[in-house]
Amino acid sequence: MNCGLRIRLNQRQKARILLVFSVIFLTVTVILGICFHDAAMVTDFSRKNLAPCLSYPFGTDWLGRNMFYRTLTGLSTSILIGVLAAGVSAVMALILGICAATLGKTADSVITFVIDMVMGIPHILLLILISYAMGKGLKGVIVGVALTHWTSLARLIRGEVLQLRESEYIQIAAKLGCSKWQIARKHMLPHLFPQFVVGLVLLFPHAILHESSITFLGFGLSTEQPAIGIILSESMRYLIMGKWWLAVFPGVMLVLTVVLFEKGGTALRQILDPGSVHK
């Protein structure tokens, strides 16, 4: 008993450490990316195509731009877009999930049909169509990512609400005359908050990857902006010339950011829900 409790506590402590490390890394990346934005745009043909060295850890590109600054700036852009889009998507999922489970069969059928329809369309195709319809750019990317990532969380929240409706305290509250809004606000939302927060965090890596993918394909941000997708897309033509650092370092940093978001979400789930910790 004590041994199992000690193991569980140790695992939760590790989860807290991982979560704190992830938050610090991502926060520092965003701050440095914003600070280095202007430096990332500076061109200097006297230093073009330099391999990684002490002065330029990530090397320079064909215009002599510092790839370390460009990578951090691109990552900060991706993180900010991912956070904003995932936040909007998670709020949509929470509202629609609650509405589907509390507003009757008609609302449930309509929302479930929309969820199935959105999930039935290839993700990247729907994202490209929405982004293109919104005129591309930053607005198109954010709207596209937000409108394509809410379905799984909405279905999860709907299932949680359906289970809560059968609980005794919800039924007692309804018999005492509480309205559906009061029941949802006072009794359901506190229970749904951990699932909502974890789902929100776990949406970030998907949002970042899809933002980078659509930008890589040329349907996202303009080429003047140092986004990770644009950096990787431009570097493809120089790989055959041996300029490997143009793609390797931005790609590794993107993967590291996504993994930290994923691990941070898993750690947060272990902290908020002790039953999710595997013995």
Signed CA dihedral, 236, 240, 243, 244: sign only: positive
- pLDDT value at position 8? 52
Q: Let me know how long the chain is.
A: 279
Over residues 14-51, the pLDDT tens digits come to: 777 777 888 888 888 889 888 888 888 888 888 888 88
In angstroms, the Cα distances linking 162 to 131, 153, 157, 189, 255 are 34, 14, 9, 13, 37
Over residues 198-235, the pLDDT tens digits come to: 788 778 888 888 888 888 877 767 666 777 888 888 88
Per-residue pLDDT, averaged over 183-208, amounts to 78
Rounded Cα–Cα distance for residues 262 and 241 (Å): 34
Q: Could you tell me which of 189, 175, 174, 207 has the C-alpha nearest to residue 88?
A: 207
Maximum Cα–Cα distance for the chain, whole Å?
Answer: 78
Q: Are 249 and 58 in contact (CB under 8 A)?
A: yes
Rounded Cα–Cα distance for residues 180 and 90 (Å): 21
Q: Average pLDDT of the chain? A: 80
Residue 74 has pLDDT above 60, yes or no: yes
